[in-house]
Amino acid sequence: MDPQRLEQIKELVLRLAITYGPKLLVGIAFLIAGSIVARWIGNLFSNWLEKRQLEPPVRLLMVRLVRVLVLTLFVLMALQNLDVQLMPLLAGLGVAGVGLGLALQGVLQNLVAGLTIIFTKPFRVGEYVELLGVEGEVIMVELFSTTLRHADQSRVVIPNRKIVGEILHNYGRIRQLDLVVGVGYETDLNVALRVAREVVEANLRVLKEMPPVVGVMKLADSSVDIAIKPWVKVSDFGPAGAELYQSIVDRFRAANISIPSPQCDVRLVNPAA
């Protein structure tokens, strides 16, 4: 390379270093300070939100927004220190944001739906819900999806945009069992109902503060159907039903209460034929 040209490059680099070097160092210092301050303010804000007993997704979202806002402020200060024109930069970011929004339309729909779920709270973590043909216990509500745990311990991940605007059945944290047992028409119904109530009251999984429904539901062809509908926790829904059915069978057998099987009487109109 020409020595004169090399000397000009060295002078240019030296001049730029003298002019922008201190500003660059100050800008880096702004970024480092911004990350520290954003983390510190975020922790303080998170501790304050915990005392307000907000939902974890809401608390996490608000803390992240605060940290991003604080860090953005320090980034703008660093760019201004480097004599960067902010208005053209913001305009370019706006145009890029429109294009990115069109490309990520489905993701943004999930994000908006997730914010809607978080702030309107149609359900909470730990509640049992049924929607879109699936059901399960809500174990996680995130910005883009909601996760349910099915009774067989499998997980169902639903995009949030599929939830908003759909019919939702929220059972809460308790569910009502719907058990049916048939007894013979010759059975003393008062005795059968009393035994059924005793079985329900003796079960430890049944919630005592909510009275169960025990009564005659239907006069079927071969039996009188008794409805037994106690309240249990979501986690006890399956085991409680199995325990109550077994106890009812045992108690009915001990009390000589018959549980008839379906029968069909056939009459011959013309036996000779």
CATH number of the CATH domain containing 24: 1.10.287
Domain for residue 99, yes or no? no
In angstroms, rounded to a whole number, what is the distance separating the alpha carbons of residues 205 and 199?
11
Overall number of domains in the chain: 3
212 in a structural domain: yes
The residue range of the domain holding 195 is: 174-254
Q: pTM, whole model, 2 decimals?
A: 0.60
**Alpha carbon distance 155, 140 (integer Å):** 10
pLDDT in tens, the chain (273 residues): 566 666 666 666 566 556 666 667 777 787 888 888 888 888 888 888 777 666 666 677 778 878 888 888 887 777 776 666 656 656 665 655 555 554 455 677 877 888 888 778 888 888 999 988 888 999 888 878 899 998 888 999 999 888 888 889 999 889 999 999 999 999 999 999 999 999 999 999 999 998 999 999 999 888 999 999 999 998 898 899 999 999 999 999 999 988 887 766 777 777 665
State how far Cα 143 lies from the chain centre: 10
197 domain residue, yes or no: yes
Dig out the tokens for 117 from the structure. 């779920």
In a domain, 185, yes or no: yes
Q: Report which of 159, 174, 164, 146 is spatially closest to residue 55, judged by C-alpha positions.
A: 146
Q: Which token pair is 11? A: 């002078």
Which residue, 32, 65, 84, sits at the end of a domain? 84
H-type alpha helices, the chain: 3-51, 56-81, 86-103, 105-120, 160-163, 189-202, 237-254
Question: Which of 131, 151, 172 finishes a domain?
Answer: 172
Domain CATH for 236? 3.30.70.100
Q: What's the burial of 190, exposed, middle or buried (CB within 10 Å: 0-12/13-18/19+)? A: exposed
Task: Say whether both 10 and 68 belong to one domain.
Answer: yes
Domain for residue 95, yes or no? no
Is 90 inside any structural domain?
no
| Domain presence at residue 208 | yes
The answer as to whether 72 is a domain residue is yes
